[in-house]
Amino acid sequence: MRKVLIVTLMLMLALGACAHADDVKIGACIYRFNDAFMLRFRQAMQAESEKLGAKIELADGQDNQSTQDEQVDAFIADGVNVLIVNPVDRMSSQSIIDKAKTAGIPVVFINREPTEEMLATYDKAYYVGAKAEESGTEAGELVASYFKAHPEADKNKDGKLQFILLKGQNGHQDMILRSKYSVEAVKEAGIEPVELAGAIANWDKLEAMKIMNGFIMSIGPENIEAVIANNDEMALGAIEALKAQDYNTGNPEAYIPVVGVDANASALEAMDKGEMLGTVLNDADGQGSAAVKLAVSLAKNAGAEGADGKYIWVPYQKVVRGEKQ
């Protein structure tokens, strides 16, 4: 009798500790709301939370790490069951991990990767993202195959690819690895890449437009054979600058292939109009829903749904003129 009672009590305790999805409160910190790709990501997380019946609250870090740190504190004080964090500075992830650990709640990082060492310090810390090198390689391959299929693209007929590189934020794994692997892929394809100029444009369209404008003026558009941008927004900024010089407006004599990454709607539109060569799909829906599913299953103490060790990797896909390759 007593044994039965104890077993029953233990069962009740175990069930009590195991929250239902509709009891799960997620606190999600986004590095900056005003980012076209992260907007898609946020929408995907909201849709998945709704589907699972979990509550999600999103905070805008406004590209400021101390603002985000306060938001993490506020979520914890508010009693969220799990955190999803898109860190402003991924190297600041350790202090966020420490806070989650002290509070005893799981933390799922997205889009900006903490180091393996950081994730290893807490058994309930995970990362959901896409392999940056993959997108770099695929963007580089798009340029290389265009260059090979269009002999006129080699404007100075030296067999090499004279290109401009527009880079995302400093220190971001997507900036470092996309830059490296896109150029690597051009080499792999048997074409010697020559970087005419490169600059950080912080994922931003306007910044990229201004920088590209300067490059067009100093280098001359007739000497540029490709623009490789770490994301679509910067690719679109470059295209704006080119269009102002009557490039990429439909005249095949005045065209420079431009590639980005993300496959945002505005980039697909530019591709349909023939202004942009291609992009690589950064699967916001896949990453957003995987992050929320993982967060909810961790909060319910039901294991790490979908994770392989500390990670969930969502693949990239090449996109040319709206068609997946």
Type of residue numbered 288: G
Structure tokens belonging to residue 223: 């000497």
Alpha carbon 214 to its chain's center: 27
Q: Of 282, 322, 302, whose CA–CA distance to 134 is shortest?
A: 282
User: Cβ-count burial of 14 within 10 angstroms (0-12 exposed, 13-18 middle, 19+ buried)?
Assistant: exposed
SS3 category, 73: helix
262 binds, among Ca ion, ligand GAL, none (CB under 5 to 8 A by kind): ligand GAL
Beta strand 278-281 pairing with 107-110: unpaired
Residue 203 in contact with ligand GAL, rule: CB under 6 A = yes
Using CB under 6 A as the binding rule, whether residue 38 contacts ligand GAL is answered as yes
- Which residue's CB is nearer to Ca ion, number 50 or number 222? 222
Stretch touching ligand GAL by CB under 6 A, among 35-43, 67-75, 114-122, 315-323: 35-43
What part of residues 272-311 is at the interface with ligand GAL (CB under 6 A)? 282
Choose the stretch contacting ligand GAL; rule: CB under 6 A; options: 34-42, 59-67, 72-80, 98-106. Answer: 34-42
Q: Which of 226, 262, 265 is nearest to 247 (CA)?
A: 226
> Of residues 27, 30, 35, 164, which one binds ligand GAL by CB under 6 A?
35
Using rule CB under 5 A, residue 160 touches Ca ion? yes
Judge contact between 176 and 135, C-beta under 8 A: no
| Cβ nearer to ligand GAL, comparing 173 with 297 | 173
Task: Out of 154, 184, 207, 285, point to the residue binding Ca ion (CB under 5 A).
Answer: 154
Tokens 């907007």 correspond to what residue? 39
Give the footprint of ligand GAL on this chain (CB under 6 A).
31, 35, 37-38, 111-112, 174, 203, 231, 261-262, 282
Where does this chain bind Ca ion (CB under 5 A)?
154, 156, 158, 160, 162
